[in-house]
Chain A
Amino acid sequence: MRANTWAGRNKVEVRDVPDPRILNRRDAIVRITSTAICGSDLHLVDGYVPTMQDGDVMGHEFMGEVVEVGAGVAPERLRVGDRVVVPFPIACGACGACASELYSCCENTNPNAGIAEKMFGHPVAGIFGYSHLTGGFAGGQAQYARVPFADVGPLKIESDLADEQVLFLSDILPTGYMGAEMCDIQPSDVVAVWGAGPVGQFAMDSARVLGAAKVIAIDKEPYRLEMAERAGHTPVNFEEVDVRSQLLELTGGRGPDKCIDAVGLEATHGSAHIAAYDQVKQAVRLETDRPHVLRQAIMSCRSGGVVSVIGVYGGLVDKFPAGAWMNRSLTLRTGQCHVQRYMKPLLRRIESGELDPTRIITHTLPLEEAERGFEIFKNKQDNCEKVVLKP
Chain B
Amino acid sequence: MELTATTTIRKPASEVYAFWRDLENLPTFMAHLEEVRTTGDRTSRWVADAPFGKDIAWDAEIVDDTPGEKIRWRSAGDADVPNAGTVRFTPAPDGVSTEVHIVLVYDIPGGTIGKAVAKYFGEEPHQQLDDDLRRLKQVLETGEVVRSDGAPWGKRARKEFPQRPAQPLSDAELAKGADR
Contact = CB atoms under 8 A, between A and B. Distances in A.
Contact of A21 (B97, B157, B163, B169): B169
B168 to A, nearest CB: 4
Contact of B157 (A92, A111, A129, A146): A111
A20 B143 CA distance: 21
A111 B161 contact: no
Contact of A132 (B97, B142, B150): B150
5 contacts: A24-B147, A53-B163, A95-B137, A108-B137, A111-B147
A96 B97 contact: yes
A229 to B, nearest CB: 39
Given A95-B137, A108-B137, A148-B147, 6 more contacts: A5-B167, A21-B169, A53-B163, A57-B166, A96-B97, A112-B163
Nearest to B150: A136
A189 interface: no
A209 to B, nearest CB: 34
Contacts of B158: 112, 114
Interface of A: 1, 3, 5, 17-21, 23-26, 53-57, 72, 92, 94-96, 99, 107-115, 117, 126, 129, 132, 135-139, 146, 148-149
B150 A108 contact: no
B141 A92 contact: yes
Given A26-B143, A53-B162, A136 B137 contact: no
A10 to B, nearest CB: 18
A137 B167 contact: no
Interface centre among B149, B169, B174 (most CB of A within 10 A): B149
Interface of B: 8, 10, 94, 97, 127, 130-131, 134, 137-138, 141-144, 146-152, 154, 157-158, 161-163, 165-171, 174
A28 B41 CA distance: 41
Contacts of B137: 95, 107-108
A contact patch SS: loop
Given A18-B170, A20-B168, A146 B146 contact: no
Contact of B167 (A18, A72, A95): A18
B168 A18 contact: yes
Contacts of B134: 108, 113-114
A370 to B, nearest CB: 14
Nearest to A107: B137
A126 B148 contact: yes
A136 B127 CA distance: 19
Contact of B142 (A23, A54, A108, A146): A108
Contacts of A57: 149, 165-168
B149 A137 contact: yes
4 tightest A-B CB contacts, nearest first: A136-B150, A55-B165, A111-B151, A20-B168
A115 B137 CA distance: 17
A138 B167 contact: yes
A119 to B, nearest CB: 14
A55 B149 CA distance: 11
Nearest to A99: B10
Given A95-B10, A95-B137, A23 B165 contact: no
Contacts of B152: 23
Contact of B161 (A108, A110, A115): A115
Contacts of B143: 25-26, 72
Contacts of B141: 92, 94-95, 107-108
Given A57-B167, A95-B10, A108-B141, A138 B130 contact: no
Contacts of B163: 53, 112, 132, 136
A21 B166 contact: no
A148 B167 contact: no
B130 A137 contact: no
Contact of A96 (B10, B130, B150, B151): B10
B11 to A, nearest CB: 9
A51 to B, nearest CB: 8
A1 B169 CA distance: 12
A108 B146 contact: yes
Given A111-B154, A112-B151, A18 B169 contact: yes
Contacts of A18: 167-171
A25 B146 CA distance: 10
B150 A135 contact: yes
